[in-house]
């Protein structure tokens, strides 16, 4: 992928859709306000990892190109409850109209980044890296994967176009792991090749054929450790990824078995928004 996940055109597309959804023919409540110059502040009400600044900024600038936004924290910063993240100066109507959409982006992406950071911390020092999946909110794939990076995670493939990933249905259609790998190499020789296996026999077959990563799906602990040993002893070992049945409590034990990656759909699928608010006026004085 040549452009960053937060490329301006991509952010603008996300924001345009979201504002159109919320505003429709016009914000009939904000129209009641005098459109005077005003200020506002963005408050984080819980401990969190900050993420979503490009989307927040784009929401406000789409409605008031002259709005001034001063950020007090960087993207990916860990902040405590009560932190003022940003202050804004602009037209009152635009500040109020952009409020909900800008918060929706910040709350959702900060939630993804915060959850990712918790999972990354759980495997710290093991060498295992945390991966996301394609289990994202429709229309927010790139934004959520950006948030995973902000939380210290690593992106899996962005979509169906940038890596070949052979799963159970592909293997069944091809007839075997070997046949599926051979077909993938013929048709897409330049793309990364990831193979999901469900047994140790399939693991050996994938190793013998050669691939860029092997996903061991829903292995129990003993079988997972066998897989690590078999892989290490092979002439052409491949990075091992664990997927399926993974939760935060069991993450450390999986990492300590020696796998290279753990992919977790919950990072982007089970999103709990961070509690943020945007209030008109000056922020309260500290203390």
Domain ranges of the chain: 8-120+271-280, 125-269
Q: Is the alpha carbon torsion for 254, 255, 260, 265 positive or negative?
A: positive
The architecture in CATH of the region 8-120+271-280 reads: Alpha-Beta Complex (3.90)
Whether 135 has a binding-site annotation, put simply, is yes
Does 178 score more than 50 pLDDT?
yes
89 catalytic residue (yes or no): no
pTM value? 0.93
Distance CA 287, CA 162 (A): 51
Q: Could you report the per-residue pLDDT of 50-61, keeping only the tens digit for each?
A: 999 999 999 999
142 catalytic residue (yes or no): no
Contact 155, 1 (CB under 8 A): no
Q: Could you report the per-residue pLDDT of 11-38, keeping only the tens digit for each?
A: 999 999 999 999 999 999 998 888 899 9
Q: Which of 27, 38, 57, 196 is catalytic?
A: 196
Whether 157 has a binding-site annotation, put simply, is yes
- Looking at domain 125-269, which of 3.40.980.10, 3.20.20.70, 3.30.1280.10, 2.40.30.10 is its CATH number? 3.20.20.70
Which helix (H) or strand (E) is 227 found in, with range? helix 221-233
> Taking residues 5-12, what's their average pLDDT?
93
Q: Which of 61, 100, 204, 252 is catalytic?
A: 100
Q: Which residue has the tokens 């934004």?
A: 143
State residue 193 phi and psi, 5-degree precision. -120, 115
Written as six digits, the tokens of 226 are 């066998």
Whether 245 has a binding-site annotation, put simply, is yes
Q: Could you report the per-residue pLDDT of 270-286, keeping only the tens digit for each?
A: 999 999 999 999 998 75
Does 139 score more than 90 pLDDT?
yes
167 catalytic residue (yes or no): yes
Does 166 score more than 70 pLDDT?
yes
Does 2 score more than 60 pLDDT?
no
Our CA dihedral for 239, 245, 248, 250, rounded to 10 degrees, sits at -80
What pLDDT shows up at residue 286?
Answer: 55
């Amino acid at each position: 992928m040549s452009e960053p996940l937060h490329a301006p055109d991509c952010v603008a597309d996300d924001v345009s859709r979201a504002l159109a959804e919320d505003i429709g023919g016009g914000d009939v409540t904000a129209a009641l306000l005098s459109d005077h110059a005003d200020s506002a502040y963005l408050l984080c009400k819980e401990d969190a990892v900050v993420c979503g600044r490009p989307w927040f900024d784009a929401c406000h600038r789409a409605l008031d190109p002259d709005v001034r936004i001063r950020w007090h924290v960087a993207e990916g910063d860990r902040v405590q409850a009560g932190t003022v993240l940003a202050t804004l100066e602009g037209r009152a109507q635009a500040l109020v109209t952009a409020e909900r959409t800008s918060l929706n982006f910040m709350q959702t992406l900060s939630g993804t980044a915060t959850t990712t950071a918790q999972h990354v911390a759980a495997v710290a020092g093991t060498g295992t890296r945390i991966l996301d999946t394609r289990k994202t909110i429709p229309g927010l794939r790139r934004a959520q994967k950006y948030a995973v990076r902000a939380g210290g995670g690593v992106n899996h493939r962005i979509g169906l176009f940038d890596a070949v990933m052979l799963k159970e249905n592909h293997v069944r259609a091809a007839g075997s792991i070997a046949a599926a790998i051979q077909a993938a190499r013929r048709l897409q020789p330049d793309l990364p090749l990831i193979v999901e296996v469900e047994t140790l026999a399939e693991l050996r077959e994938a190793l013998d054929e050669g691939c860029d990563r092997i996903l061991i799906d829903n292995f129990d602990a003993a079988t997972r450790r066998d897989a690590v040993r078999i892989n290490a002893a092979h002439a052409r070992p491949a990075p091992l990824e664990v997927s399926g049945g993974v939760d935060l409590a069991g993450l450390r034990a999986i990492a300590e078995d020696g796998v290279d990656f753990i992919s977790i759909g919950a990072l982007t699928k089970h999103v709990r928004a961070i509690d943020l608010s945007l209030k008109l006026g000056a922020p309260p004085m500290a203390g």
